[in-house]
């Protein structure tokens, strides 16, 4: 996930974004679901980064569609209010059936991962049983090699652990990215003057008749401000990931016992009128000039922590930032966007571990 490796793998991102555009070119003038398209694009990028492209593209796309359904359901279940959260003694009864549903979803996700892992193992076998450096060229190759080295009594690293790691990376990197691109496009369609400014900036940097490249992204300062403002208004994980203090401590006048589950309400902080002027208004300009560095994504300012902070900050920030900016710049530069006839923008949010839109964004691409 470091910048050097991400730069070396930019060809995967470029290829999948080009595929997205070819797909949209066949749907000009027709409504498309933005979140679904972005999810599948990001999923293909991640799978290419993790284990290459050995699987048949049609099969990979089919499994990707299945994966999106299951991951969406799993994230909804993780964020669903549960009576046993308030009365732990009732947890073993699973009164709402949430645990049973989650087990069913996990089984389906495991089945999909088994398909990807089997494809990788067959590819390795067909390559003559490569070992060492050759076998470790991709992420899953490293994990499989590590598993083989730890075979024997007492080994704690196997396929179950590999699939758990893949679940963290693929689910965390695909669903949240798709959600944020969907929110940015929603805000741009809701604020046409801001959309025009973004399109003008991209045209000035890229050129009217040129194709957006990843190298252009670092020069798109206004688009970056739009993305940051979207993360402020619609943080992907409004309560971040819970923490568990290893020792009891005091914060302000509150004692936090050792082992407590601690949530940071970033949504509330991002909406604090003592910190943000007119916090309910979408205003990207608040992240321009000096504020561009003051409010970064890596958690240096406690007033703005969309990805967390410290040692537990999201490890995928460099990839997420590249993909969100690259995708958005490509979408607004290649097409004009509108809403289906008779529809209006819905900005309502859906409660859950990930802050999704209540209703998916359906938009219509037009040739410029």
Task: Give the pLDDT of residue 55.
Answer: 63
Domains annotated for the chain, with CATH where assigned, are 3-367 (1.10.630.10)
pLDDT, tens digit, 9 for 90 and up, residues 314-362 = 888 888 889 999 999 999 999 999 999 989 999 999 877 888 899 999 9
Asked whether 226 and 191 are in contact (CB, 8 A), the reply is no
Task: Give the pLDDT of residue 1.
Answer: 66
pLDDT, tens digit, 9 for 90 and up, residues 11-21 = 889 999 999 99
Under the banding of pLDDT at 50, 70 and 90, the label for residue 190 is very high
CB proximity list for 1: less than 8 A, separation 6 or greater: 315, 316, 318, 319
pLDDT, tens digit, 9 for 90 and up, residues 221-268 = 999 999 999 999 999 889 888 888 999 999 889 999 998 888 889 999
Between 212 and 66, the higher pLDDT residue: 212
**Phi and psi of 254, rounded to 5°?**
-110, 130
Task: Give the pLDDT of residue 154.
Answer: 65
Between 140 and 367, the higher pLDDT residue: 367
Q: b/e map of 68-91 (b: 16 or more CB within 10 Å)?
A: bebbbbbbbbebeebebeeeeeee
**pLDDT above 90 covers what percent of the chain?**
42
* Tokens at 164, concatenated: 């758990």
Task: Give the pLDDT of residue 220.
Answer: 96
Q: Map the chain to HEC letters.
A: CCHHHHHHCHHHHHHHHHHHHHHHHCCCCCCEEHHHHHHHHHHHHHHHHHHCCCCCHHHHHHHHHHHHHHHHHHHHHHCCCCHHHHCHHHHHHCCCCHHHHHHHHHHHHHHHHHHHHHHHHHHHHHCCCCCHHHHCCCHHHHHHHHHHHCCCCCCCCCHHHHHHHHHHHHHHHHHHHHHHHHHHHHHHHHCHHHHHHHHHHHHHHHCCCCCCCHHHHHHCHHHHHHHHHHHHHCCCCCCCCCECCCCCEEECCEEECCCCCECCCHHHHHCCCCCCCCCCCCCHHHHCCCHHHHCCCCCCCCCCCCCCCHHHCCCCHHHHHHHHHHHHHHHHHHEEEECCCCCCCCCCEECCCCCEECCCCEEEEEEC
Report the C-alpha gap between 313 and 316 in whole angstroms.
9
Task: Give the pLDDT of residue 333.
Answer: 97
pLDDT, tens digit, 9 for 90 and up, residues 72-85 = 788 777 777 777 77
CB proximity list for 268: less than 8 A, separation 6 or greater: none
Q: Does position 52 have pLDDT exceeding 70, yes or no?
A: no
Range scoring the smallest mean pLDDT among 103-107, 122-126, 220-224: 122-126
Asked whether 351 and 329 are in contact (CB, 8 A), the reply is no
Q: What is the pTM of this model?
A: 0.86
Between 193 and 293, the higher pLDDT residue: 193
pLDDT, tens digit, 9 for 90 and up, residues 288-320 = 977 667 888 888 888 999 988 888 788 888 888
Most confident range, picked from 27-31, 56-60, 290-294: 27-31
Report the C-alpha gap between 222 and 214 in whole angstroms.
16
Task: Give the pLDDT of residue 200.
Answer: 97
| Mean pLDDT rounded to a whole number for the chain | 86
Q: Does position 148 have pLDDT exceeding 70, yes or no?
A: yes
Range scoring the smallest mean pLDDT among 37-41, 332-336, 361-365: 37-41
Task: Give the pLDDT of residue 201.
Answer: 97
**Phi and psi of 357, rounded to 5°?**
-75, 145
Q: Is 249 known as a binding-site position?
A: no
């Amino acid at each position: 996930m470091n910048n050097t490796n991400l730069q070396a793998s930019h060809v995967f991102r470029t290829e999948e974004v080009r595929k997205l555009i070819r797909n949209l070119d066949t749907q000009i003038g027709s409504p498309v679901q933005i979140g679904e398209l972005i999810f599948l694009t990001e999923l293909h990028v991640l799978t290419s980064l993790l284990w290459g492209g050995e699987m048949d593209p049609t099969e990979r796309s089919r499994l990707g569609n299945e994966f999106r359904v299951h991951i969406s359901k799993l994230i909804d279940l993780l964020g669903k209010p549960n009576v046993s959260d308030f009365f732990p003694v009732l947890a073993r009864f699973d009164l709402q059936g949430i645990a049973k549903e989650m087990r069913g979803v996990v089984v389906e996700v495991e089945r999909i991962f088994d398909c990807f892992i089997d494809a990788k193992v067959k590819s390795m076998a067909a390559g003559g049983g490569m070992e060492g450096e050759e076998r470790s060229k991709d992420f899953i190759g490293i994990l499989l090699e590590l598993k083989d080295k730890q075979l024997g009594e007492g080994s704690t690293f196997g396929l179950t652990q590999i699939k758990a790691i893949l679940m963290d990376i693929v689910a965390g990197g695909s669903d949240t990215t798709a959600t944020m691109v969907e929110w940015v496009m929603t805000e741009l369609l809701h604020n046409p003057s801001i959309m025009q400014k973004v399109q003008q900036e991209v045209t000035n940097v890229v050129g009217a008749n040129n194709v957006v490249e990843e190298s252009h992204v670092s020069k798109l300062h206004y688009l970056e401000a739009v993305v940051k403002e979207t993360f402020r208004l619609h943080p992907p994980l409004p309560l971040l990931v819970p923490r568990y203090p290893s020792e009891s401590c005091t914060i302000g006048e509150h004692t936090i016992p050792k082992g407590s589950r601690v949530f940071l309400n970033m949504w509330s902080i991002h909406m604090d009128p003592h910190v943000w002027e007119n916090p309910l208004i979408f205003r990207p300009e608040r992240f321009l000039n000096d504020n561009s560095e003051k409010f970064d994504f890596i958690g240096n300012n406690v007033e703005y922590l969309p990805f967390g902070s410290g040692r537990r900050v999201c490890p995928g920030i460099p990839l997420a930032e590249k993909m969100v900016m690259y995708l958005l710049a490509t979408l607004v530069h290649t097409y004009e966007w509108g809403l289906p006839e008779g529809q209006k923008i819905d900005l309502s949010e859906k409660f859950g571990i990930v802050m999704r839109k209540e209703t998916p964004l359906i938009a219509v691409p037009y040739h410029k």
